[in-house]
Amino acid sequence: MKVLQIAFDTMHIGGVQKDIIDMAENIPECHFDVVVIKKEIGHLEKRFIELGGTIFRITEYEGNNPIRKMLEYFIKKFRLFIKTYQILKKYGPYDAIHSHNQFRSGFTNAAAFFAGVKVRIAHSHNDQPPQKNNAFKKLLFHFYRILILVFSNVRMACSEGAAKYLFYQSERAEIILNGTDMKKFNIEKYPYHSNGKSNYIHIGRFTGQKNQLFLLDVFSAILKVQPNSQLKMVGFGSDEKKIRDRINDNQLTGKVEILPPDSDVPALLSESEFMIFPSVYEGFPNVQIEAQVMGVECFVSDTVTKESDLGLSTYISLHKSPEEWAFIITEKVKNHDFTERLKVDIHQKSRVDASIICRRYLAVYQGKNCEKHAEV
């Protein structure tokens, strides 16, 4: 079988991109290609090509002309439609298209419909952002949703919130939790030795959504109570300079270490006891699952879905101050057992086992149960 995946933007390290790699590694019955919409080379491209996939680029305008940039908001959707259609016809036939790029899924799946692709999947990975949209954007988003409902005969979401955001109703989508590769994130491979410190970790793209500036304020407050603490931050993104400036402003140099996104995440998690994850919104955060599977206790904003709790997560309101977050965290840390790893229940692990979840994807690619998604 041949499947065309449509990524968010690049094949940089992120939740959707990891899911695409997991599918390519765990579904040998399928050949996967992927469409990205940025010129930059993603960290996971090399691995995807090693697995036999082809990467197609449908690039957007990156110039500085303000009028052209304004027009690009509309032009890029139709370019995506035309270029996706051309790829499907030239390099196909494809048995399925699996679109992960939220509101643009209607355009890619419309292209797949006219190209004769039988299985057309729209996959929602994000809950609703907190910001208010103006009337024009709300109208546009309704139009995009209608396109998705009309041209996608399979709808998936990583959580109920993500399903409601893209498809209006959770009943219109099949909820499939994001999977974790249990062969990579295997707690038994890493013997645990406490170094006498409270080791915190944060993994995520450096953007406002992930709320790292607030995280650094929380960690500053933690250090006042537990000075023998350290924080590792793994990621990249547009907010990196702001983050480094906040580290300097809060005098955290030597206590906070920034690591590249292609770091050995399982090994880093094996050296950590706690994760702080104060996202403003999420669909279903893979890193929270990976952390818990590796025995890391998580402190997570209450905007994150509870479906991602495997038993090792504490949810804290973003309405609380950094000092209140620090108090809740340090009180929990007092009772933490530093002599051995925490372990997730085997039934909880099976909910997010990538090898099991990929079997469900294969069934969808084979056209099973498409009819139950087809109604608008």
Collect the ranges in the chain with pLDDT lower than 70: 369-376
The model's pTM: 0.90
The fraction of the chain above a pLDDT of 70, given in percent, is 98
Greatest alpha-carbon pair distance for the chain in Å reads 62
Residue with tokens 């479906």: 307
CB count, 10 Å around CB of 249?
11
Q: Where in the chain is the domain with CATH 3.40.50.2000?
A: 2-179+354-371, 187-351
pLDDT value at residue 130: 75
CATH architecture observed for domain 187-351: 3-Layer(aba) Sandwich (3.40)
Bridge partners, residue 198, by sequence: 229
* Nearest CA-CA partner of 105 in 148, 142, 76: 148
Predicted confidence at residue 78, as pLDDT, reads: 93
Give the bridge partners for 201, in sequence order. Answer: 232, 275
Q: Which of the 8 DSSP states describes residue 195?
A: -
- Report which residue type is found at 212: Q
Evaluate whether 170 touches 164 at the Cβ level (below 8 Å): yes
Determine the straight-line distance between the first and last CA of the chain, rounded to whole angstroms: 27
What mean pLDDT is reported for the chain? 93
Residue-level pLDDT at 249:
95
Q: What is the pLDDT of residue 66?
A: 86
**360 burial level (CB within 10 Å; 0-12, 13-18, 19+):** middle
Cβ atoms of residues 275 and 202 within 8 Å: yes
Apex 357 CA angle, 354 and 361, nearest 5? 125
Sign of CA dihedral 163, 167, 173, 179: negative
| Class of domain 2-179+354-371 as given by CATH | alpha beta
Nearest 5°: CA angle at 21, between 268 and 171?
Answer: 105
User: Tens of pLDDT along 140-155?
Assistant: 999 999 999 999 999 9
Alpha carbons 243 and 371: distance in angstroms, whole number: 47
Q: What pLDDT is stored for residue 18 in this prediction?
A: 93
